[in-house]
């Protein structure tokens, strides 16, 4: 496989990347360059697709498919008139997966192979598993060993890296994973030249991991919106994002750009890696071909060669609001003919309202802009059925302000919690609350969601743009909770918030209480059995174990209050400290843990759990 020729990423929400391609002058046909990139990197692209579709597959099985797809590429490059060369790349990939001897039966996807075309692709998409707890821990190499492997067999190291990351991130878009691989190689090159290799890898890996996590959250959130609510909500999200980024873009031009952006997500969200790559390239090319009418901030970016254009656009500032843009668009609140215009083309009318409101309010979050659009739509539905509609909708701005004020108060309250509780206690607060709301989720999912809530607040609560930052990031956490699959079910209350209204799911979750349908397990089922490895855990690992312990405790005793649960967590911490200083830590754990956790319960509870 040739060297991976990809750098940079582009985000349109707060984080999302664009495929950047092999270095060529700007005027070369972008489509042919993209196609050449795909041909050169067919091995990496195959690994991503296979590892995301069939996460249980071994690396050896993936290598077999890479060989088959490389042969297919070579055959078609030699003679494009062959019948099989007219097929879509993703269809060829799935056909090859299905014809691998014994593989469909071994990994339980035979039912997908019995389907065809869209139904087959859709089946493979639903075969993906967001909770990857069934996979073994991510393999880690000693820094010296990693550097030696890179020196002796660079391709093997990169292939393994892409395979392991892809199977653990089944919904991350292919260009993101290719960018991650390029960054991993850059990190490896740099750190292998350092004397303190371990420290270098540790320092650089943290930023790298955050990059991948942020993009993964964003992509799952947007794809989840598309799958649960359809293309209209995706269109609304993109209108809000692009109108804020490029406030001088004309509405007609925005609608044209949206066609490319929407088709990009069709491929990326369905797991069609080749269509996703083509779509990403097309969006960047569209922006740069119309740069004068889109943004004054990207002229220099679009004069750069293709690999540099995307990253340059990322770091370009939001364009300045046009000087002649009034604070309000009278057409939507002061015109006598609002109802007639709405009725003539409701979809286009509402799209233009969102465009006009978003370009005037760069300080608002994307979810808030969608809420405002929802409030306006509901208001018109009501007003246009009255005797005097203009009198009714003339006060729309008051409704918008009320909606934003409610959202501001939620964020303000969350940031006050952060200031009062501090990072650790805030995390425990969210771990307890999230577990009570959705105890059906795995312990891994709940600990992840709790940490992400804290990350959102610690990142945003000291910034001048606090509201938009918090609201955007918390919405991503809710997207993680709700999941990408439209058939995902947690419990009736959570499902209602996830599936009823995308824009208002935040306020829906605010009103939720502990799940009343949940039945806790009758015994601890070994959850509170600890071994000597607990004493050997470093600070970070010990903290993870404490977080898991707290979540498991809430699942077992959901009726306990937050104060009682945190008190038991303190008791557990003290027991760990005591037992790890004892001569026989494991025996100490058996004698001390359950009595410390349930001091008010009868001896029956203690002994019944010991027998289990």
| Domain locations in the chain as residue ranges | 49-54+56-125, 326-514, 532-597
Residues 456 and 477 sit within 8 Å (Cβ to Cβ): yes
Which range has highest mean pLDDT (3-17, 21-35, 193-207, 228-242)?
228-242
| 385, burial (CB in 10 Å: exposed 0-12, middle 13-18, buried 19+) | exposed
Closest CA to 328 of 392, 402, 254, 397: 397
- CATH code matching the domain that covers 532-597, chosen among 1.20.1250.20, 3.90.79.10, 3.40.50.720, 1.10.246.10: 1.10.246.10
The whole-number pLDDT of residue 609 equals 44
C-alpha to C-alpha distances, 141 to 44, 156, 201, 581, nearest whole angstrom: 21, 13, 11, 31
C-alpha to C-alpha distances, 411 to 181, 506, 514, nearest whole angstrom: 36, 11, 21
Banded model confidence at residue 103, pLDDT cuts 50, 70, 90: very high
**241 Cβ partners below 8 Å, 6+ apart?**
12, 13, 366
Closest CA to 474 of 506, 438, 443: 506
pLDDT, greater one: 531 or 503: 503
Mean pLDDT lowest among 8-22, 380-394, 465-479: 8-22
Between CA 90 and CA 85 the distance in angstroms is 12
pLDDT at 444 > cutoff 80: yes
Spacing of C-alpha 198 from chain mean position = 29
Tokens for 427, please give them. Answer: 């995390």
> What CATH topology corresponds to 326-514?
Serum Albumin; Chain A, Domain 1 (1.10.246)
The whole-number pLDDT of residue 86 equals 87
The whole-number pLDDT of residue 9 equals 29
**100 Cβ partners below 8 Å, 6+ apart?**
61, 64, 65
Residues 242 and 12 sit within 8 Å (Cβ to Cβ): yes
Residue 536: other Cβ atoms inside 10 A: 11
**151 Cβ partners below 8 Å, 6+ apart?**
192
pLDDT at 297 > cutoff 90: no
Mean pLDDT lowest among 173-187, 228-242, 370-384, 595-609: 595-609
pLDDT at 4 > cutoff 60: no
Banded model confidence at residue 8, pLDDT cuts 50, 70, 90: very low
The whole-number pLDDT of residue 438 equals 96
Query: pLDDT tens digits, residue range 237-274?
Result: 999 999 999 999 999 999 999 988 888 888 899 889 98
**Half-sphere exposure in the Cβ direction for 489 (13 Å, CA):** 3
Residues 211 and 180 sit within 8 Å (Cβ to Cβ): yes
Do 326-514 and 49-54+56-125 fall under one CATH topology?
A: yes
The whole-number pLDDT of residue 119 equals 92
Closest CA to 274 of 162, 125, 173, 148: 173
Between CA 202 and CA 213 the distance in angstroms is 16
Closest CA to 8 of 218, 313, 383, 296: 313
Between CA 132 and CA 496 the distance in angstroms is 25
Angle (CA) 376 382 385, round 5°: 135
Query: pLDDT tens digits, residue range 537-573?
Result: 778 888 888 999 999 999 988 999 999 999 888 888 8
pLDDT, greater one: 37 or 520: 520
Q: At what angle do helices 346-360 and 251-269 cross, to 10 degrees?
A: 100
pLDDT at 604 > cutoff 70: no
Banded model confidence at residue 520, pLDDT cuts 50, 70, 90: confident
**Half-sphere exposure in the Cβ direction for 26 (13 Å, CA):** 16
Residues 496 and 369 sit within 8 Å (Cβ to Cβ): no
pLDDT, greater one: 303 or 334: 334
Long-range contacts of 102-111 (CB under 8 A, 24+ apart): 103/54, 103/57, 103/61, 107/54, 107/56, 107/57, 109/54
b/e code 416-426 from CB counts within 10 Å (16+ = b): ebbeebeeeeb
Between CA 87 and CA 73 the distance in angstroms is 12
Residues 351 and 235 sit within 8 Å (Cβ to Cβ): yes
pLDDT at 523 > cutoff 50: yes
Banded model confidence at residue 612, pLDDT cuts 50, 70, 90: very low
Q: Is 272 labeled as ligand-binding?
A: yes
Average pLDDT, the chain: 85
**292 Cβ partners below 8 Å, 6+ apart?**
299
pLDDT at 311 > cutoff 60: no
Residue 164: other Cβ atoms inside 10 A: 17
Between CA 597 and CA 600 the distance in angstroms is 9
Tokens for 120, please give them. Answer: 């087959």
> What CATH topology corresponds to 49-54+56-125?
Serum Albumin; Chain A, Domain 1 (1.10.246)
Mean pLDDT lowest among 82-86, 112-116, 241-245: 82-86
Residues 175 and 18 sit within 8 Å (Cβ to Cβ): yes
Spacing of C-alpha 533 from chain mean position = 33
pTM of the model: 0.86
pLDDT at 314 > cutoff 60: no
Residues 478 and 505 sit within 8 Å (Cβ to Cβ): yes
pLDDT at 14 > cutoff 50: no
Query: pLDDT tens digits, residue range 389-429?
Result: 999 999 999 999 999 999 999 999 999 999 999 999 999 99
Closest CA to 264 of 253, 249, 276: 276
Residues 454 and 417 sit within 8 Å (Cβ to Cβ): no
The whole-number pLDDT of residue 305 equals 58
The whole-number pLDDT of residue 525 equals 67
Closest CA to 18 of 258, 209, 224, 265: 265
Between CA 191 and CA 207 the distance in angstroms is 14
pLDDT at 524 > cutoff 80: no
Residue spans of alpha helices (H) in 87-192: 89-98, 103-106, 110-113, 117-127, 143-152, 154-168, 174-192
As a whole-number percent, the residues of the chain with pLDDT over 90 amount to 53
Between CA 180 and CA 165 the distance in angstroms is 9
Between CA 327 and CA 341 the distance in angstroms is 21
């Amino acid at each position: 496989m040739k060297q991976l020729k990809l750098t940079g990423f582009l985000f349109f929400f707060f984080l999302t990347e664009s495929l950047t391609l092999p270095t060529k002058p700007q005027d070369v046909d972008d489509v042919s360059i993209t196609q050449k990139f795909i041909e050169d990197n067919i091995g990496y692209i195959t690994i991503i697709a296979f590892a995301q579709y069939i996460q249980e597959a071994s690396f050896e099985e993936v290598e077999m498919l890479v060989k088959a797809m490389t042969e297919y590429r070579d055959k078609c490059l030699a003679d494009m008139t062959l019948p099989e060369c007219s097929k879509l790349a993703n269809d060829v990939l799935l056909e090859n997966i299905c014809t691998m001897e014994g593989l469909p039966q071994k990994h339980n996807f035979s039912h997908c192979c019995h389907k065809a075309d869209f139904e087959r692709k859709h089946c493979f998409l639903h075969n993906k598993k967001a909770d990857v707890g069934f996979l073994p821990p991510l393999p880690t190499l000693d820094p010296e060993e990693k550097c030696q492997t890179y020196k002796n067999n660079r391709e093997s190291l990169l292939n393994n890296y892409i395979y392991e990351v892809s199977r653990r991130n089944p919904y991350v878009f292919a260009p993101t994973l290719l960018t991650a691989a390029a960054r991993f190689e850059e990190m490896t090159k740099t750190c292998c030249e350092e004397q303190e290799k371990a420290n270098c890898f540790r320092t650089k890996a943290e930023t790298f991991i955050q990059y991948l996590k942020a993009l993964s959250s964003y992509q799952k959130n947007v794809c989840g919106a598309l799958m649960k609510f359809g293309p209209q909500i995706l269109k609304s999200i993109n209108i809000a994002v692009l109108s804020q980024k490029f406030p001088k873009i004309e509405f007609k031009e925005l609608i044209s750009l949206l066609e490319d952006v929407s088709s990009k997500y069709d491929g990326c969200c369905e797991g069609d890696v080749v269509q996703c790559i083509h779509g990403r390239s097309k969006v960047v090319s569209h922006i740069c071909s119309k740069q004068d009418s889109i943004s004054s901030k990207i002229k220099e970016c679009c004069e750069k060669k293709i690999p540099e254009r995307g990253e340059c656009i990322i770091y370009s500032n939001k364009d300045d609001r046009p000087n002649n843009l009034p604070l309000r668009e009278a057409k939507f609140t002061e015109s006598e003919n609002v109802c007639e215009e709405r009725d003539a083309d409701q979809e286009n009318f509402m799209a233009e309202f969102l465009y006009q409101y978003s370009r005037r309010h760069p300080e608002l979050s994307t979810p808030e802009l969608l809420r405002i659009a929802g409030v306006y739509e509901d208001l018109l539905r009501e007003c246009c059925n009255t005797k005097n509609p203009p009198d009714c909708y003339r006060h729309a701005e008051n409704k918008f302000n009320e909606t934003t004020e409610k959202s501001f108060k939620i964020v303000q309250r969350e940031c006050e919690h952060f200031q009062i509780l501090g990072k650790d206690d805030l995390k425990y607060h969210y771990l307890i609350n999230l577990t009570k709301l959705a105890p059906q989720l795995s312990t891994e999912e709940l600990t992840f969601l709790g940490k992400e809530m804290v990350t959102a607040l610690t990142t945003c609560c000291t910034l001048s743009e606090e509201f938009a930052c918090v609201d955007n990031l918390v919405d991503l956490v809710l997207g993680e909770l709700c999941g990408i699959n439209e058939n995902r079910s947690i419990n009736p209350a959570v499902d209602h918030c996830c599936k009823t209204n995308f824009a208002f799911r935040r306020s829906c979750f605010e009103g939720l209480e502990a799940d009343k349908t949940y039945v806790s397990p009758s015994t601890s089922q070994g959850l509170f059995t600890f071994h000597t490895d607990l004493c050997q855990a470093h600070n970070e690992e010990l903290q993870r174990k404490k977080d898991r312990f707290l979540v498991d405790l809430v699942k077992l005793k959901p009726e306990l209050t937050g104060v009682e649960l945190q008190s038991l967590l303190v008791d557990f911490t003290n027991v760990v400290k005591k037992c790890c200083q004892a001569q026989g830590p494991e025996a100490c754990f058996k004698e001390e843990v359950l009595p410390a956790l349930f001091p008010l319960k009868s001896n029956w509870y203690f002994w019944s759990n010991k027998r289990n």
